[in-house]
Amino acid sequence: MAAGFTLTMLYIDVSIACLLIGLATFILSYQGVFIGNKIGTWRESKAEVTGGVVLILIGLKILLL
């Protein structure tokens, strides 16, 4: 809601703003997948353990707090 309100206050063409936001999202997502693919094969076993530990800690935090 805040982003939409701000866009109307700045008098920016909404279609151009949507195109730029979508393009930035695509580029950053593509880079994340590319980097994750490279690092994932290099650190696969430790990444699985780390991800599991993080999920367990989040679950404990939700359960206890």
Average pLDDT, the chain: 86
The CA radius of gyration of the chain, in Å to the nearest whole number, is 19
Cα maximum dimension of the chain: 50
Give how many domains the chain has, as a whole number: 1
Alpha carbons 2 and 48: distance in angstroms, whole number: 37
Match 């909404």 to its residue by tokens.
14
Give residue-wise pLDDT tens across range 11-37. 888 888 889 999 999 999 999 999 888
The residue range of the domain holding 23 is 2-64
Alpha carbons 33 and 61: distance in angstroms, whole number: 28
Number of Cβ atoms within 10 Å of the Cβ of 14: 10
pLDDT of residue 37: 85
pLDDT of residue 15: 87
